Amino acid sequence: MNKIKPPEFDTQFAADIFHGLTTYPKSLSSKYFYDKRGDELFQQIMHLPEYYLTGKEFSILQEYKEQIGLAFTSDKGFDLIELGAGDGKKTKILLRHFLEEKFSFRYLPVDISDNVLLQLSASLKEELPGIAVEPQQGMYREVLDRLTDYKERKKVILFLGSNIGNLSQEEAVSFLKKISSSMSSEDLFFMGADQKKNPQKVLDAYNDKTGVTAAFNKNLLTRINRELDANFDLDAFLHWPVYDPETGMAKSFLVSKKAQTVQINSLNLEVEFAAWESIHTEISQKYDDTSIAWLAEESGLKMIRSFSDSENNFKNYIFQKS
């Protein structure tokens, strides 16, 4: 690997790509999957038969929306703050129910992708025009710093889709501590978490037969090519997921099929790959009640209720500040 000259970084994206590809083992953050094309690919993933997570959580919200609504509502109303809102398909189950029950609430969807927020706002205006919507574009941590400003009434923080699984154990505790510190005694945190299960079912979810998940991972290389003037050959990399049933850790890699050198011109960087060297792109941690209870205890939260699908593949948890 030949670093010609330490570059000046114009963006955090450039800095993170540089550092991720100049360390060993190489890694790239999954948060950069979500450009416009990445958003489209992830929407396709959520509809794949192998990707059970979306359907299972959808069924939970549909079955338990009344109980969830009763837990969320308060006399003064509430602010519903969703981290990683995406297309809002699952959340709309709750939003529609809240409208029908005439709950007083404001919806604040948060997402790193401005494109996603624009699409979500447009769809809500058409489908559920009675909702007060205030989109918040940015990284979770940036928005969490502002959450303490919402203290005039109860706030309910949503974190659906097992997004907690994309964080390492250390990152998850740090993130949940940030959530806890922003909460008052009446606030709630509602989180989805994929559960440990048959290892083959997990692997299939991240390695669909049609190759959409592989394209989703490789799209990050396309983004680097486009935004940083690089020359990654996507066909020279293999998408490879693995799963450890003992720890519940699923990981995804892009593996170089041959010895090769990639030029990233905007970073003045040449990246050398040995044959079968990998780039770690994503983690997807699977949980059970014991590990969730440990996370909560470490983070200053207490779990007060959970909801599961009929096969116990997925769970949604309600937490209070402990």
User: Would the pLDDT of 6 be above 70?
Assistant: no
Total domains in the chain come to 2
Instruction: Give dist(CA 6, CA 50) in Å, integer.
Output: 43
Instruction: Note whether 75 and 127 are same-domain residues.
Output: yes
Contacts of residue 122, defined as CB under 8 A and 6 or more positions apart, other chains included, come to: none
pLDDT band, residue 8 (cuts 50/70/90): confident
Side-chain-side CA neighbours of 85 within 13 Å: the count stands at 34
Residue 80 β-bridge partners: 107, 156
Q: Are residues 258 and 300 in the same domain?
A: no
Taking only the tens place, the pLDDT of each residue in 208-239 is 999 999 999 999 999 999 999 999 999 999 99
DSSP state of 248: T
Q: In terms of domains, do 143 and 274 share one?
A: no
Same structural domain, 214 and 241: yes
- Do 68 and 183 belong together in one domain? yes
The sign of the CA dihedral 142, 147, 150, 156 is positive
Q: Does 37 fall in a domain?
A: no
**Shared-domain flag, residues 184 and 236:** no
Does the reported pTM lie above 0.95?
no
pLDDT digits (tens, 9 = 90+) for 299-311: 999 999 999 999 9
Site of tokens 């948890």: 317
Can you read off the two tokens belonging to residue 219? 């799209």
**What order of strands is seen across the sheet that includes strand 2-3?**
2-3, 269-273, 260-264
Q: Does the pLDDT of residue 1 top 60, yes or no?
A: no
The pLDDT of residue 3 is above 60: no
Q: What is the residue whose two structure tokens read 């909801």?
A: 307
What is the mean pLDDT of the segment spanning 244-261? 97
Q: Tell me: do 296 and 148 sit in the same domain.
A: yes
296 shares its domain with 256: no
Q: Are residues 278 and 245 in the same domain?
A: yes
What tens digit of pLDDT does each residue of 63-122 get? 999 999 999 999 999 999 999 888 888 999 999 999 999 999 999 999 888 888 999 999
pLDDT of residue 148: 73
In the prediction, which pLDDT does 199 show? 97
Domain of residue 148, CATH code: 3.40.50.150
Supply the pLDDT for residue 228. 97
Number of neighbours of residue 273 by Cβ within 10 angstroms: 22
User: From start to end of the chain, where are the E strands?
Assistant: 2-3, 26-27, 78-83, 105-111, 132-133, 136-137, 154-159, 188-194, 237-244, 249-256, 260-264, 269-273, 278-285, 301-308, 314-321
What pLDDT score does 138 carry? 80
Please indicate, yes or no, whether residues 115 and 181 belong to a single structural domain of this protein. Answer: yes
Q: Which domain holds residue 179?
A: 52-195+287-321
Co-location of 71 and 154 in the same domain: yes
Question: Are residue 68 and residue 116 in the same domain, yes or no?
Answer: yes
Residue written as tokens 């990707």?
A: 51
pLDDT of residue 257: 98
